[in-house]
Amino acid sequence: MRRLLALRQERALTARQVRLAARHLAVTERTVWRWLAAAERDPAAAREPGSRAGTGTRFTVTPDVRHLLALWKGNVAAVHRELAVLAARRDPPGRPPSLPTLHRAIRRDLSAGERAGLAAGERAARKHDVFLTRPRGHRNAVWETDHKQAPVLVDVDGQARQPWITWYVDCATNAIAGLAVTPGRPSRESVLAALRAAVLRTGPYGPVGGLPATVRMDRGGDFLSRTVTAAFELLKVEVEDLPAYTPHLKGTVEGLNRSVERMHLAALPGYVHQPRPGRRPRPADRHGLLSFEEFTTGLIAWMVWWNTEHRPAPLKGRTPLQAWQDDPAPVRDIPPGDLWTFTLEDDRAEPRAVTTRGVRFKNRYYVAPWMTGRTGTRVRVRHMPHHQHEIELFDPTTGRHLATAHLADEATPEQIAAVRRARTARTRRLKRDLEQAQAQRHERYAAATRPEAPRTLGTLTAAEAGRELATSTHTDLTALARPDLIPPTAPPGHWNTPPGLLTTTRTATEATRKPTP
C-alpha cells in the first residue's frame, strides 16, 4: 500500500496496478481505492490496510473481558450481557460494545489457543500449540514407557476385565523392546517385568533390547516407586520423570498407544469403544470373549509384526527392526542372572536367620531344600513385588544367590478359591448394607414454585425413631465409652488446679492402692 500511495502522489498510479494489488490481496478494486484514500488522510493507515480509523476508540479485549470469558466458558453472548449490566451501573451510564463488535475484538485480540483455553481449559488450548520434534538419536539412547489399558474385555477367571499393557519403546527406531500384560491394575511388578523382558535380547522380544541410557516416563507412583528407582540405579539407567499432564513430552509411546488400538485392539471381540447407534451398551458377557492367554498371544504376535513388517513413515521405508539393526551404536547387555537379581525388591532389613521353621518374612515362613542343615545361617531376602508365594535368598556379604524359598504352609487352590468367594460375598453384603443406609439417610424436599424455605418430606413414628436410635447406640462405640470409670490421678500440689477438677481426680494414695480381692 505504501508503494501504491507513493505512485499516486507522483501521479503515476494506473488502474492496472490497482487491479493487480486487489487480486494479490484478495479484495475488490473498490476496497483498494478506499484504502488509498484513507492512507492519504492518515499515513499511519498504510501500515495496516483495512484497519479502522481512530484506533484509540476501537474496542479491545481487556482483562475484565478475559475473566468473564473464563467465567462463562467462552460464551460471548453471556459476556455481552454482563458488560451491558456493568455499563448501566456506571455513573454516568456507559455504552457497551455491540455483540458483533465483541465477537470481532475476541477474534482479533485472542488467539485460537487462548479462546479454546478460556472455554475448555489448558488441555483444549494445548491442541493449538506448536510442538517441536526431538532428534531421533541412536538406538537405546532413550526409551519411553507407559501403561495402556486395553479397551477390550477379556475373560479372566470367569470375569470380564480390561487388561493393562506396560511396554518400553525405543525412541530412535520405534521398536518395541518388551512388554508385560496384567489382568488387573498394573503396579511396580508390571514395570519390572516389562523392563526384564525389554532388556533381554532372547525369546519373542529379541534381538531388540539391551540397557538404555535414559528411560522417559510420567510421574506415576509405580514408575517412581522405591523398588523401580533402585533397579534403574543399579542398572546405571538415567530416569527422566516428566511433568504431570504432559503426554506430548513422550510422544513415541503415546503414538504407540494409539496405534495398537487402531491397528489391533479395535478388531478383537469385546472391544468396548465399538459404536452402537441407537442402542444402550449391554452388560459385559464373557461368552465369546478372548481368554487372557489368547489376548496376550495375539498382542505379542502384533508386537512382532510391528517390529518386523510395519514400516512407519519416519523410518523411510524401513521396519523398526531394520532401523535398529542398521544403527551402529553399541549395545550394553547384562547377564540374565544379574538382571533378574537387580529387578527384585529388597526388604531393606537386617539379614535374617534360617530357623528350624525356615526364614520368617512378613509374618510367614518360607522353606527351601538348601536350608537343610543350615539353621542359624544369615541370609538377605529379595522378592518380586506382590509375589508372596516365594522369595529369593542371597548371601548378605557377597550377594550370591543361594536358593528360592517357597511358602511353607501355602493353602490349596480350593482353599484360596473358597476364601475369595467368602471375600466377594462379604463385599457384596457390605455394599448392600451401605446402599440401604444411604437410602435411609436420603432426604426429600418439597418442590417450590415461589421463594420459600426448604420443606423436608417424610416423617417417623416415635416407635420407629426409638428403634433406629437404639440400633445406633449399640453400634456406636463412643456411646459405650466410660471415661469417668477410673478418674485421673490428682495433679502435683504446686499446680494451679481449678477446684472443680479436684473433685474428679484421685489422690496419690488412691492411685497406688491395690484393689481389694
Q: Which residue ranges make up each domain of the chain?
A: 2-56, 63-126, 142-274+283-326, 345-407
CB 212 within 8 A of CB 142: yes
- Unique residue bearing C-alpha cell 482479533: 108
* Cα–Cα distance for residue pair 515/497, rounded to 1 Å: 27
How confident is the model at residue 183, as a pLDDT? 93
How many whole angstroms from its chain centre is CA 412?
Answer: 37
- The alpha-helical segments, DSSP class H, found in 110-172 are 112-120, 122-126
How confident is the model at residue 291, as a pLDDT? 92
DSSP H or E run through 439: helix 413-441
Regions of the chain where pLDDT drops below 70? 46, 50-57, 204-205, 275-287, 472-481, 483-484, 502-517
* Cα–Cα distance for residue pair 168/501, rounded to 1 Å: 68
Instruction: Please state which CATH class domain 142-274+283-326 belongs to.
Output: alpha beta
Nearest to 269 by CA among 291, 249, 247: 291
- Unique residue bearing C-alpha cell 557377597: 398
How confident is the model at residue 194, as a pLDDT? 92
How confident is the model at residue 286, as a pLDDT? 57
Q: Mapping DSSP to helix (H, G, I), strand (E, B) and coil, where does residue 1 land?
A: coil
CB 362 within 8 A of CB 385: no
Global pTM reads 0.70
Taking residue 399's Cβ as centre, other Cβ atoms within 10 Å add up to 11
CATH label, 345-407, candidates 2.60.60, 2.40.50, 3.40.50, 3.40.1360? 2.40.50
